[in-house]
Structure 1
Amino acid sequence: MTPASAELTKYGTNAMLATRISLMNELASISEVIDADIEEVRLGLGADKRIGRAYLYPGTGLGGDHFTRDLERIKSMLPQAHQKGGHSLLQAVIDINENQKELFFRKLWQHFDCNLKGKTVAIWGLGYKPHTTSIESSASVALIKAFIHQGCNLQLHDPFALDTAKKWVHKHFSNVQQQQVSFHTEMYDASKQADALCVLTEYKAFWSPDLTLLKENMQTPIILDGRNLYNKYWIEDNHFSYYGVGR
């Protein structure tokens, strides 16, 4: 394999995976409109041997420096006329991915009738994936920005990325805005007096939350499940409002 072919293979691999996930996120959006369940759709698609089950999970957008850098790099190889959108599939994938990162902001905005000022939002999972200290291009970054600018208070928890998030918040926000953010090493502490809980990564500690404790802690029992970890009927039967991705 030539160096040029090897380079394109590397970038193309991540572009292919990102395209697959972006399509699932588009199907998740359609599912919400037509009252389908993307989890059932995912299982149906995965049963087709031509498609397979890998990378069929919708969510709140891809992050991390490798995916982001590789998508931008391969897009830069396109003819100039295609680099700025329009007919570029890669640009559409990038746009879908970025739009997906603010999905839960839009859902909460609608839930609270377009007024989030003074609401307290807990976020579990700040890294772009579990067991990483990196928050680069993660959904948490987009959501923190959006919620802070709407006057929300944020209570953040992540087993690995908390220190990174602290440094990022201190770098990107004013002293006044920093007062809107608190950092918690214990997941249930982050939920105290929260009006909503956003779960953005699939740490095992998040898989089976103590709903009784959560309900006692929270001001408003709302769970936004960015990885479709939970059975929505289990959550709703415990008197929570539930928002997933494509459900």
Structure 2
Amino acid sequence: MNITVFGAGYVGLVSAVCFAEHGHQVCCMDVDADKIARLSQGELPFYEEGLQPLLERHLAQDNLYFTTDIELAVQDGDILFIAVGTPSQADGQIDLRYIRAVAEHIVEYRTENGMVVVKSTVVPGTCDELQAYFGAALRARNADITLSVASNPEFLQEGMAIQQCLHPDRIVVGTADLHVADRLRAVYADFLTDPNRFLVMSTRSAELAKYASNALLATKISFMNEMSRVAEGIGADINEVRSAMSLDPRIGPHFLNAGCGFGGSCFPKDVSALAYLARQRVPDFTPVVLDAVLERNDTQRVWLAEKVKHIFGINLRNKTFALWGLSFKPNTDDIREASSVYIIDTLLKAGATLQVHDPLAMPMVQARYPEWRLHYVETPEAALAGAEALIIVTEWPVYRNFSLRTIKNLLKEPWIFDGRNIYDPKTTQAVGLRYIGIGRGI
């Protein structure tokens, strides 16, 4: 099937490559000419494990191409997937201008019946709004065609997106049109081994399913971060508490790690958007749980920096610290809403100098911080050399497996501030390190 994907960002590019991998002919369109030129040469604009070889394969096989020509993209696809960004505004609501811009071009250039599938994360009611817009706009230009709109939210995790896109745990489709549902079932026929995991529902239910899923995962993280404060205050270890909780089948083991807050392009934005939506659309209602999730995360993201200041003082001039991990999670170079950004801001404001390392994300941080007190180093060892303490923000495997004795020998003072609880307090103390984790009150 001929598929067009609008947007060559994280969701759009991963989706386009995975559609090609499952045998479709794919056009991926974006307005960023430099990005499209690089992609056409096989150069990725971001890192995602497993994406590079698939991109190269399908460029070579000629079943995937990239363009800035929106007229060509509109006309070339049997099904048009919208996967453009929906950035968050200051009050939490999302900006739909890029969705609407694509819709306007579809009306302008489409000459035959088609399906428009919204893969971008959008608030409930957006697909209904698009369907009404298409109907009115096509009537206004006397176009004798029909455009059907469906919701098809993505549920991808950065660092695992390729496998999750190629082999999803479910496909959610929002439509009341059985023909649309059947065509999308055909698109995804090779993606699912269990046809019962192809779920058809109303567009608003599909749109809300994405927000509700991310909000629940964020809630679990914020709840465990709140419990980490309790554990630390009463002398318990949150990791031991988690091990007991995770064996309860009603709870499960996932998203129970306490740490220095959640980040990325989804959880903060989606929880904020859902809270805003609830305030605007639901009469006499306050989203107290969603508000609490965001509030706890805001305080958790700087708690590690506050622990450093508690030990070394509020004035950190002439103090140098090693900071390991800049991306919001391992296996990505994404620093959007990353805890590292908030920790760096807090420590720089206090006068500190930082020696930072990350396997992938340093170029992203360098673009944000030309600050002379932020030194980018090529190895974890170089970050440690002469530093007052080590601050761990992202749980990359290279840090988990690092020699504690080497840390002790390279640091000026034997302090570890472990924002992801990757080390055992007793083991670190046995080699002479002073250990401060998250919720490690024992």
Same fold (TM over 0.5): yes
The reply on whether 1:192 has 2:392 as its aligned counterpart is no
- Aligned mates of 2:429, 2:229 — CA distance in 1: 21
The reply on whether 1:19 has 2:228 as its aligned counterpart is no
**How far 1:121 sits from its partner (Å)?**
1.2
**Identical pairs, percent:** 36
- Aligned mates of 1:33, 1:95 — CA distance in 2: 19
Residue matched to 1:125: 325
- Aligned mates of 1:214, 1:240 — CA distance in 2: 8
Residues 179 and 79 (structure 1), Cα distance of their counterparts in 2 relative to 1, 3 Å cut? closer
**How far 1:223 sits from its partner (Å)?**
0.7
Contact 2:279 2:286 in 1 (8 A): no
Residue matched to 2:309: 109
Structure 2: 5+ residue stretches without partners: 1-200
- Aligned mates of 1:203, 1:112 — CA distance in 2: 26
Q: What letter matches 1:197 in structure 2? A: L
The reply on whether 1:215 has 2:415 as its aligned counterpart is no
- Aligned mates of 2:210, 2:413 — CA distance in 1: 45
**Per the alignment, in what secondary structure is the counterpart of residue 43 of structure 1?**
helix
- Aligned mates of 1:219, 1:147 — CA distance in 2: 18
**How far 1:189 sits from its partner (Å)?**
0.3
Residue matched to 1:96: 296
Contact 2:314 2:350 in 1 (8 A): no
Residues 11-65 of structure 1, C-alpha deviations (whole Å, 9 max, x = no match): 1100000001100000000000000010111011112221111111111111001
- Aligned mates of 1:5, 1:68 — CA distance in 2: 21
Residues 206-227 of structure 1, C-alpha deviations (whole Å, 9 max, x = no match): 1122222222221111111111
Q: What letter matches 1:200 in structure 2? A: V
**How far 1:112 sits from its partner (Å)?**
1.8
Residue matched to 1:225: 418
Q: What letter matches 2:389 in structure 1? A: A
Residue matched to 1:165: 365
The reply on whether 1:46 has 2:246 as its aligned counterpart is yes
Query: Superposition RMSD on alpha carbons, in Å?
Result: 1.7
Q: What letter matches 1:134 in structure 2? A: D
**How far 1:124 sits from its partner (Å)?**
0.6
Q: What letter matches 1:21 in structure 2? A: I
**Per the alignment, in what secondary structure is the counterpart of residue 79 of structure 1?**
helix
Residue matched to 2:96: none
- Aligned mates of 1:199, 1:38 — CA distance in 2: 17
- Aligned mates of 1:34, 1:11 — CA distance in 2: 35
**How far 1:87 sits from its partner (Å)?**
5.8
**Relative contact order (C-alpha < 8 Å, sep 6+): which is higher?**
1
Residue matched to 2:69: none
Residue matched to 1:246: 439
Contact 2:275 2:287 in 1 (8 A): no
Greater Cα radius of gyration, structure 1 or 2: 2
**How far 1:114 sits from its partner (Å)?**
3.3
- Aligned mates of 1:102, 1:79 — CA distance in 2: 27
- Aligned mates of 2:317, 2:286 — CA distance in 1: 36
Residue matched to 1:35: 235
1:150 aligned residue (350, 363, 368): 350
Residue matched to 1:237: 430
**Per the alignment, in what secondary structure is the counterpart of residue 369 of structure 2?**
helix
- Aligned mates of 2:280, 2:288 — CA distance in 1: 11
Contact 2:323 2:393 in 1 (8 A): yes
Structure 1: 5+ residue stretches without partners: 171-177
2:373 aligned residue (180, 185, 192): 180
**How far 1:3 sits from its partner (Å)?**
1.1
The reply on whether 1:68 has 2:268 as its aligned counterpart is yes
**How far 1:80 sits from its partner (Å)?**
4.5
Residue matched to 1:3: 203
**How far 1:68 sits from its partner (Å)?**
1.9
Residue matched to 2:150: none
Residue matched to 1:175: none
- Aligned mates of 1:86, 1:215 — CA distance in 2: 49
Contact 2:387 2:411 in 1 (8 A): yes
- Aligned mates of 1:233, 1:106 — CA distance in 2: 23
Residues 100-139 of structure 1, C-alpha deviations (whole Å, 9 max, x = no match): 1111111111112433222111111100011211111111
**How far 1:79 sits from its partner (Å)?**
2.4
